[in-house]
Structure 1
């Protein structure tokens, strides 16, 4: 038997151990290849924002490849640890270190080559479906199937280099061990898990620093980076120190511990939490990143939809330069009249002011005479505030701010104070959505205005466009809006016109298309992370299976029943699978509230819970699959 045949037979004999690793690697190759099919598609450049789409997809390719490096490196490390006794026996029988290294190198290349072929073949079979789903999600014209020679070449070369490089690197895992250590493998006696008080306090302090960085004051990019660094470090200490401390405290409660199989699974969990601290930390970080990304996209999309639905004005024209205002308003009116659209145009004047009240950091002040003509369109009653009184129309409160009620006072930075008599809350404001709207009587407005100049806004209310029709590119509002947008942009001078305009449906569709691209990318990357995290846990449990089998075999001799074994093993596996989901959900909620608040996006809980539920559902499926295989192996060891 030649040496290559020996390596091939080794792979066949360890097929059960390598099968999950092989499938996960092939899945990663397939996802990478599928994205490459998009990147190299000849029609991608002709799409709206085609170069941007291609650039974003290329960045996603890089993210997947970097993640693949860590995934393959960790997976190979797990399997080499599982096979330490085998390597020790080969060395004892006369094999040289170079032969062991050659064996491992050839085995890894065999599995890598098989993963590449399987992944590309699967990608080719599903490429048409992938293109169809991608174009539907990104709401772009359907892309025809083509022979992706460039994608095949890129995928093959990239993953061949990856598996070759990782195979060379993993040789150091074996070279640093002697025969005695290899023969002991993973059966070396374990010390009782202990938590260091210093590192426990350090972990708690890091988590506290991260929380204060997010909620202690005005958020900035530096504080976000600080919160990310301290949060990630604190998560590791949570698993390696805090969790062990909690379990030790739990073991002191005899009433809870000496009941059924609690003593068995709690004692084993202490070891597993300590041993699996790195993998649980890695799974939590990966899941948190995927959850935050997906929640961000969902939250932005939800806010975009609410702003469209709550804005009754199809066109908004902001006048900052009166020299061009009359001409451009005439162009808007002429186009709407020619298209037979029934509309009403209203001029709105307002003042932007900062306040000294934390619940409302800034406001747009409007006189009642300017507000009442648009009140009906906003589904609000006409306002008639008295002297020194105000009606407040607010959007969602920021996480760091409270809500105002009738009787509260608003003090402006100019020194003027008004008393709130009524409060109307909206999920989104129709315009000027970055500040609450305060309606005062005309005399109060002139007093507050003083010598300052009002901002001028012209809003167009088109009743027939507010009939609840889903916003699409083919409805009259979008078609006429596109003509108007093109006309105003063509007639504008290169310089000197500071006026701006906003067309409601195109603001909505533009942001929706941008988020659709990230939704498409996020779903597949999150799916990749989900499968990979489940694979991490499976690989780890598989390496511990031999030791667990011996333990349960010994316990079965002294009376442990099969049902008690199932209960104990299920609880331990379940905690390993679901603790990262719980921690990542809490982390996502804590991080996303202030981060989205800086972008005036306040729809947080619903997107986060949707994403967490999706991860929980996927993890539940993986849990039952792994549990079934794990218990099947343990049942065979029971007396």
Structure 2
């Protein structure tokens, strides 16, 4: 019998085991091909305004996806090889050499890779179209995505599989050559020893996690983080990492031992599901600790990217509140831009011409504007009436009422906007064009934009005009002693897709050096495409990482189910029925699946709530979005738990 015939016979005889491995390979190919094909899909590329950024971002994400797939498939192969150690021992006993066994494994791997490539590319093409449509939806583009099979994506996926076949063969060669023949026959008979536990270490684990949570929930504005940021970070990090390890190493074992000492321990099936768990703690500690911490990181990544994506829509509108705005120039230039906008497919919703007085600040800009380096050194004095008119058109509830020398600074992007009481008003002095000085009293530092960042189609955001809204009476009294600037402010239809219009309008305004120009479209495509790509890539990575991490538990439980078939066969002979066996399996697996899930959710939610959601509390739907992401993660693990319990029962119930 040739090695090829032996390979085909092995596949037929162990089809169940091969099917699990084949499913893992197909899943890896689908993920790799889906992501690779998006990078070469012309429909997606045609819709993007920033192809280069997309390719760079996709390349970085594809490398990460590749590493996760390699990890997942190699872990699946490790499980696959362990289940066949006895089989390899038989081959060596019958005279096959280690090289022949490895060559047989290589042929098997090539066959599985070929089948995986064909199935994965076909399914991956469908998923690629689906994910491409999702990406266009995130970017709010109406670009249709066709079903394509780029040659570059197929070639890169085939190269990945060839590389994996070589690595898997090398992994198998080391596995076969490292063990003695007797070890191959008795590989499954090695029992793990129970971990020695103590109440001290168990209590310490809970205390370390508790201290970490206390520091996290104290908030970034608390004294411990303001005064002792570095020690607090170290203590909380050590508490989470070391506390999680000790939780699974000591607290879980101590809890099982405590359950075993109860008087009613032998009642029901408690003794059945706890006894084997005590022997599995040593082998599961690192896996469960890693899954807990990495699972928390995955949820935090997804929540952060989703929040960032949501905030970007708000942020672009706040940073660039006007569809098109520019400094009023000569009559011919103004008319040229106006004709351009009116003749475009976008049209005009409204057009305002506002004026402002220019002034030089005498008081430090820090008194009125956070991060003054992002603002122009010149201050614009805008009358209350003009400001309120524009706010009314926008539909914002941000109008002001001022009198005398009162003023409001528009500190756009401020993390800490302030409203000053009558006894706490802040003085801000300016120098006007005729050398006259004027002192205003700030009643509020408002996180709001009147004109917004100056932009260009190439450089995106450049500088923010520093604006003081002053009372109408103060503005009227200064008109004769200050220089003026006028601004043309337009509202256009479908402003987010007005990149071409903005590029032409900017070219006209830019003929006058230093003239202010701002367009919503210049920033929207960059910001939204960037945040959409980050959300899409992180979601893809989270899906792959969750799948890979879940497989660690999944294959571990399948291996333990295979090893415990004899114990369950003995239980049946002792009179334990199928209903009780199913109950034992569910409780045993619940003890493995639930703690990593619960701890991971607790870690991620506490950090997100205390350090992300608190910073964007003005967007009320974000907590719901966060819980939705956590809910999806919970659902994935719930399905995995039910699937593992079902397959575990089938394995231990199957007759050898």
* TM superposition score category, shorter chain reference: 0.7 to 0.9
Instruction: Provide the residue aligned with 1:190 in structure 2.
Output: 192
Instruction: Provide the residue aligned with 1:66 in structure 2.
Output: 67
Normalised TM-score (structure 1): 0.73
Aligned: 1:244 with 2:252: yes
Normalised TM-score (structure 2): 0.72
Instruction: Provide the residue aligned with 1:470 in structure 2.
Output: none
How far has the Cα of 1:491 moved from its partner?
A: 3.5
Aligned: 1:36 with 2:45: no
Aligned: 1:276 with 2:284: yes
Aligned: 1:27 with 2:42: no
Instruction: Provide the residue aligned with 1:449 in structure 2.
Output: none
Q: 1:438 to 1:42 in 2, by over 3 A?
A: closer
Q: 2: CA distance between counterparts of 1:384 and 1:130?
A: 52
Check whether the contact 2:102–2:169 (CA below 8 A) recurs between aligned residues.
Answer: no
Q: 1: CA distance between counterparts of 2:589 and 2:427?
A: 58
Larger CA deviation: 331-340 vs 265-274: 331-340
Q: Which of the residues 549, 553, 559 maps onto 2:565? A: 549
SS of 1:314's equivalent in the other structure is coil
How far has the Cα of 1:291 moved from its partner?
A: 2.8
Q: Deviations over 1:88-113 (max 9, x none)?
A: 44444554434443343433333333
Q: 2: CA distance between counterparts of 1:456 and 1:563?
A: 83
How far has the Cα of 1:23 moved from its partner?
A: 1.0
How far has the Cα of 1:476 moved from its partner?
A: 4.4
Q: 1:627 to 1:249 in 2, by over 3 A?
A: closer
Q: 1:335 to 1:493 in 2, by over 3 A?
A: closer
SS of 1:72's equivalent in the other structure is helix
Instruction: Provide the residue aligned with 1:379 in structure 2.
Output: 397
Instruction: Provide the residue aligned with 1:570 in structure 2.
Output: 586
Q: 2: CA distance between counterparts of 1:396 and 1:565?
A: 61
Q: Deviations over 1:276-322 (max 9, x none)?
A: 23433444455444433332332122213344677894347598xxx
Instruction: Provide the residue aligned with 1:172 in structure 2.
Output: 174
1:359-398 matched pairs, under 5 angstroms = 369=384, 376=392, 377-380=395-398, 382-384=400-402
Instruction: Provide the residue aligned with 2:541 in structure 1.
Output: 525
Q: 1:147 to 1:299 in 2, by over 3 A?
A: closer
Check whether the contact 1:316–1:458 (CA below 8 A) recurs between aligned residues.
Answer: no
Check whether the contact 2:212–2:236 (CA below 8 A) recurs between aligned residues.
Answer: no
Q: Deviations over 1:461-491 (max 9, x none)?
A: 85xx7xxxxxxxxx44446675245312454
1:113-192 matched pairs, under 5 angstroms = 113-124=114-125, 131-132=132-133, 134-138=135-139, 139=141, 141-146=143-148, 148-192=150-194
How far has the Cα of 1:190 moved from its partner?
A: 2.4
Q: 2: CA distance between counterparts of 1:345 and 1:522?
A: 44
1:206-605 matched pairs, under 5 angstroms = 215=220, 217=225, 233-234=241-242, 237-238=245-246, 240-241=248-249, 243-244=251-252, 247-248=255-256, 250-251=258-259, 254=262, 260-284=268-292, 286-307=294-315, 313-315=321-323, 341-346=349-354, 369=384, 376=392, 377-380=395-398, 382-384=400-402, 460=489, 462=491, 475-478=493-496, 483-492=501-510, 497=514, 501-504=517-520, 507-558=523-574, 560-592=576-608, 596=612, 605=623
Q: 1:262 to 1:156 in 2, by over 3 A?
A: same
Instruction: Provide the residue aligned with 1:56 in structure 2.
Output: 57
Q: 2: CA distance between counterparts of 1:597 and 1:79?
A: 44
CA radius of gyration, larger in: 2
Instruction: Provide the residue aligned with 1:13 in structure 2.
Output: 13
How far has the Cα of 1:13 moved from its partner?
A: 2.2
Q: 2: CA distance between counterparts of 1:121 and 1:193?
A: 48
How far has the Cα of 1:78 moved from its partner?
A: 1.7
Q: Deviations over 1:96-141 (max 9, x none)?
A: 4344433434333333333223323433566555655554555363
Check whether the contact 2:316–2:527 (CA below 8 A) recurs between aligned residues.
Answer: no
Q: 1: CA distance between counterparts of 2:645 and 2:230?
A: 43
Check whether the contact 2:30–2:120 (CA below 8 A) recurs between aligned residues.
Answer: yes
Q: 2: CA distance between counterparts of 1:386 and 1:140?
A: 51
Check whether the contact 2:427–2:441 (CA below 8 A) recurs between aligned residues.
Answer: no
How far has the Cα of 1:602 moved from its partner?
A: 7.4
Q: 1: CA distance between counterparts of 2:591 and 2:380?
A: 54
SS of 1:186's equivalent in the other structure is helix
Q: Which of the residues 625, 629, 634 maps onto 2:647? A: 629
How far has the Cα of 1:27 moved from its partner?
A: 1.8
Larger CA deviation: 369-378 vs 540-549: 369-378
How far has the Cα of 1:203 moved from its partner?
A: 11
How far has the Cα of 1:272 moved from its partner?
A: 3.5
Structure 2: tracts of 5 or more residues without a match: 430-439, 454-462, 476-481
Check whether the contact 1:29–1:120 (CA below 8 A) recurs between aligned residues.
Answer: yes
SS of 1:342's equivalent in the other structure is strand
Larger CA deviation: 307-316 vs 15-24: 307-316
Structure 1: tracts of 5 or more residues without a match: 447-452, 466-474
Q: 1: CA distance between counterparts of 2:236 and 2:166?
A: 33
Check whether the contact 1:113–1:160 (CA below 8 A) recurs between aligned residues.
Answer: no
Q: 1:598 to 1:628 in 2, by over 3 A?
A: closer
Q: 1:334 to 1:619 in 2, by over 3 A?
A: same
Q: 1: CA distance between counterparts of 2:226 and 2:99?
A: 59
Q: 2: CA distance between counterparts of 1:242 and 1:393?
A: 56
SS of 1:343's equivalent in the other structure is strand
1:62-101 matched pairs, under 5 angstroms = 62-101=63-102
Q: 1:502 to 1:340 in 2, by over 3 A?
A: closer
Q: 1: CA distance between counterparts of 2:330 and 2:277?
A: 71
